[in-house]
Amino acid sequence: MEELVELARKIEGRKILLQVPEGLKHHVDEMVDVLTKMGKEVFVDIDPTYGSCDIRVNEAKQVGADVIIHVGHAPMLKLPNVYYAYWKKGANVDAIRETVKQLVKDRIACLVSSVNYAWILDHLRDIRGVKIGKGGWRIPVEGAVVGCDTTACNVDADINIFVGDGYFHPLAVWVNTRRRTFLVYPDGRFEEVSFEGVIRKRLAIIGSVEGRRVGIIVSSKYGQNRRELAEELYHLSKKRGYTPSLYVSDYLEPSYLMGLRDDFFVYTGCPRVPIDDMERYDKPILTPEEFLYKLGVLKEYRIGWITRVPPQGDEA
């Protein structure tokens, strides 16, 4: 809440569109109360918020908002009148520190976290054997990872240690490094995570795709729009003998695909949609990387955020 208050004091605009992720919606009343006491008029966007890449620019225009305040994620997109408010989640630093020491021992550990827990890394960086990497342009916080970008893990290490909660981030870390990965919870508990079962399911889905009609879906979310990649996949699939169609959607639901004749889909928005929600869909939905893996353009399975089709036959 402190970050939100400090940010609101700097903002000149009176009317605010407030974006809050699902995990923080129980704090909405507090946020609105603080902002209204500061003389702000607040519209709360109640659509799901999928990370710092999901900025509701059109909704802000429709309600006449002067600014957007996006809570709970680190800045990713440099847009006018869009402000990000960090939301630091609490944790038992002493317990986490002891756990990390126990896990490192005489090994080299790549230490990462989600953005909400990145503040803890400063309390752990002095532990012998710990390495904290810097991510790409999408990750402004040292040591932080998101589901589509684990470049902070591009360091030489024996193991990964992820501090936070939830499984999607460590899933991406494990897949993209293929190193032993440990999840350390905010209270200091830990578990070693392996996602062989998830990958087997994904590979089985990829292998089960036999039809030639493919629907390529572009996300209209501001920071998830990979239109150029979708168009390249369209032309590549056509060359490979598929019958592609191009679709666009802001928020994807199974009912949206009912009646479409495609045999399977490629979703170019957030990779969490195909991977986390795979059981909800009757037809296979692949990420662009999975489709390129099926076509043989990528040689290894990965979770990422490519923006162009790599040269065919080359690994990227």
Has residue 19 been placed in a domain? yes
Domain that holds residue 254: 198-294
Are 39 and 120 within one domain?
A: no
Are 37 and 80 within one domain?
A: yes
Has residue 310 been placed in a domain? no
Has residue 188 been placed in a domain? yes
Are 97 and 178 within one domain?
A: yes
Has residue 314 been placed in a domain? no
Are 164 and 247 within one domain?
A: no
Lateral strand order in the sheet of 264-267: 243-249, 213-219, 264-267, 285-286
> Any idea what the CATH number is for the domain that residue 49 is in?
3.40.50.11840
pLDDT at 315: 43
Mean pLDDT, 10 residues at a time, over the chain (316 residues)?
A: 82 90 90 93 91 91 95 85 88 98 96 94 97 88 91 96 93 93 97 91 94 96 93 97 97 93 96 90 96 95 91 58
> Any idea what the CATH number is for the domain that residue 213 is in?
3.40.50.11860
Distance CA 141, CA 127 (A): 20
Residues in the chain: 316
Has residue 300 been placed in a domain? no
Are 188 and 156 within one domain?
A: yes
Are 130 and 167 within one domain?
A: yes
Number of structural domains (the chain) is 3
Are 182 and 101 within one domain?
A: yes
Are 81 and 101 within one domain?
A: no
Are 216 and 164 within one domain?
A: no
Has residue 27 been placed in a domain? yes
pTM of the entire structure?
A: 0.87
Has residue 313 been placed in a domain? no
pLDDT at 237: 97
Distance CA 130, CA 51 (A): 27
Mark which of 144, 166, 194 sits at the end of a domain.
194
pLDDT at 313: 52
